[in-house]
Structure 1
Amino acid sequence: MSKKVAFYTLGCKLNFSETSTIARSFTGEGFKRVDFSEHADIYVINTCSVTENADKRFKTIVKQAQNTNPEAFVAAVGCYAQLKPEELAAVDGVDLVLGATEKFKITDYLNDLTKNDRGEVHSCEIEDADFYVGSYAIGERTRAFLKVQDGCDYKCTYCTIPLARGISRSDTLENVLKNAAEISAQGIKEIVLTGVNIGDYGKGEFGNKRHEHTFLDLVKALDRVEGIHRLRISSIEPNLLKNETIDFVSQSNSFVPHFHIPLQSGSDHILKLMRRRYLSNLYVDRVNRIKQTMPHACIGVDVIVGFPGETDEHFLETYHFLNELDISYLHVFTYSERDNTVAAEMENVVPKSVRSKRSKMLRGLSAKKRRAFYETQIGTKRTVLFEGENKSGYIHGFTENYIKVKYPWNPELINTLHEVELTEIDEDGLVRIQFLPAKILV
Structure 2
Amino acid sequence: MEMNGKKVAFHTLGCKLNFSETATIARDFKDQGFAQVDFEQAADVYVINTCSVTHNADKECKLWIRKAKEANPDSLVVIVGCYAQLQPEEIAAMEGVDLVLGATEKFKITDYLDGLTQSDKGEVHSCEINEADFYVGAYSIGDRTRAFLKVQDGCDYKCTYCTIPLARGISRSDILDNVLANARMIVEEGAKEIVLTGVNIGDYGKGEFGNKRHEHTFLELVQALDEVEGIDRFRISSIEPNLLKNETIEFVAQSKRFVPHFHIPLQSGSNKILKKMKRRYLRELYAERVAKIREVIPHCAIGVDVICGFPGETEEDFMETYNFLKDLDISYLHVFTYSQRPNTEADEMEAQVPYGERKKRSKMLRVLSAKKRRSFYESQLGTQREVLFEDNFKEGYITGFTENYVKVKTTWNPELINQKAKISLKDIDEDGLVRFDYLDNVPILV
Fold match (TM-score > 0.5): yes
Structure-2 separation of matches of 1:325 and 1:381: 25
* 8 A contact 2:194–2:235 mirrored in 1: yes
Structure 2 match to 1:401: 404
Match of 1:56 among 59, 63, 69: 59
State the SS of the aligned residue for 2:84. helix
State the SS of the aligned residue for 2:439. strand
* 8 A contact 1:330–1:363 mirrored in 2: yes
Quick check: 1:416 aligned with 2:419?
yes
Give matches, 1:158-237, under 5 Å.
Answer: 158-208=161-211, 210-237=213-240
1:17-63: CA deviation from partner (whole Å, max 9, x where unpaired): 00000000000000000111111110000000012133321111111
* 8 A contact 1:48–1:55 mirrored in 2: no
Task: Give 1:214 shift.
Answer: 0.3
Structure-1 separation of matches of 2:224 and 2:303: 25
Give the superposed CA RMSD.
1.0
Q: For structure 2, which runs of at least 5 residues remain unmatched after alignment?
A: none
Q: Which amino acid aligns with 1:389?
A: N
* 8 A contact 2:13–2:51 mirrored in 1: yes
1:109-139: CA deviation from partner (whole Å, max 9, x where unpaired): 0014421221000000000000000000101
* 8 A contact 2:240–2:264 mirrored in 1: yes
Q: Which amino acid aligns with 1:344?
A: D
Structure-2 separation of matches of 1:83 and 1:38: 29
Structure 1 match to 2:306: 303
Structure 2 match to 1:86: 89
Structure-2 separation of matches of 1:201 and 1:429: 36
Quick check: 1:261 aligned with 2:261?
no
Quick check: 1:365 aligned with 2:368?
yes
* 8 A contact 1:11–1:54 mirrored in 2: no
Quick check: 1:356 aligned with 2:359?
yes
Match of 2:5 among 2, 12, 20: 2
Structure-1 separation of matches of 2:436 and 2:118: 53
* 8 A contact 2:133–2:208 mirrored in 1: no
Q: Which amino acid aligns with 2:417?
A: I
1:177-226: CA deviation from partner (whole Å, max 9, x where unpaired): 00000001111100000000000001124542523100000000000000
* 8 A contact 1:172–1:205 mirrored in 2: no
Q: 1:441 to 1:342 in 2, by over 3 A?
A: same
Structure-2 separation of matches of 1:286 and 1:3: 51
Q: Which amino acid aligns with 2:404?
A: N
Task: Give 1:390 shift.
Answer: 1.1
Structure-1 separation of matches of 2:116 and 2:13: 23
Structure-1 separation of matches of 2:280 and 2:352: 23
How many residues in Structure 1 have an aligned counterpart in Structure 2? Answer: 442
Match of 1:110 among 110, 113, 118: 113
Structure-2 separation of matches of 1:258 and 1:188: 19
Structure-1 separation of matches of 2:123 and 2:203: 35
Q: Which amino acid aligns with 2:91?
A: L
- TM-score, normalising length from structure 2? 0.98
State the SS of the aligned residue for 2:390. strand
Structure-1 separation of matches of 2:150 and 2:406: 24
Q: Which amino acid aligns with 1:25?
A: D
Structure-2 separation of matches of 1:400 and 1:132: 31
Structure 2 match to 1:440: 444
1:384-420: CA deviation from partner (whole Å, max 9, x where unpaired): 0000111110000000000000000000000001110
Structure 2 match to 1:377: 380
Quick check: 1:252 aligned with 2:260?
no
State the SS of the aligned residue for 1:177. helix
1:50-101: CA deviation from partner (whole Å, max 9, x where unpaired): 1213332111111111111111100000100000000000110000000000
Structure-2 separation of matches of 1:286 and 1:174: 30
Structure-1 separation of matches of 2:144 and 2:384: 25
Q: Which amino acid aligns with 1:436?
A: L
Q: 1:254 to 1:441 in 2, by over 3 A?
A: farther
Structure 2 match to 1:45: 48
Identify which range, 110-119 or 172-181, moves more after superposition: 110-119
* 8 A contact 1:130–1:208 mirrored in 2: no
Q: Which amino acid aligns with 2:179?
A: V
Structure-2 separation of matches of 1:362 and 1:97: 37
Q: For structure 1, which runs of at least 5 residues remain unmatched after alignment?
A: none
Structure-2 separation of matches of 1:439 and 1:200: 41
* 8 A contact 1:168–1:208 mirrored in 2: no
Give matches, 1:303-322, under 5 Å.
Answer: 303-322=306-325
Structure 1 match to 2:159: 156
Structure-1 separation of matches of 2:281 and 2:445: 41
Q: Which amino acid aligns with 1:10?
A: L
Match of 2:243 among 232, 237, 240: 240
Task: Give 1:440 shift.
Answer: 2.4
Structure-2 separation of matches of 1:17 and 1:178: 15
State the SS of the aligned residue for 1:70. coil
Structure-2 separation of matches of 1:356 and 1:327: 23
Structure 2 match to 1:282: 285
Identify which range, 49-58 or 310-319, moves more after superposition: 49-58
Structure-2 separation of matches of 1:112 and 1:397: 46
Structure 2 match to 1:386: 389
- TM-score, normalising length from structure 1? 0.99
Q: Which amino acid aligns with 1:440?
A: I
State the SS of the aligned residue for 2:215. coil
Structure-1 separation of matches of 2:328 and 2:214: 36
* 8 A contact 2:332–2:370 mirrored in 1: yes
Q: Which amino acid aligns with 2:50?
A: T
Give matches, 1:124-163, under 5 Å.
Answer: 124-163=127-166
Structure-2 separation of matches of 1:21 and 1:101: 14
* 8 A contact 1:420–1:436 mirrored in 2: yes
Structure-2 separation of matches of 1:145 and 1:399: 18
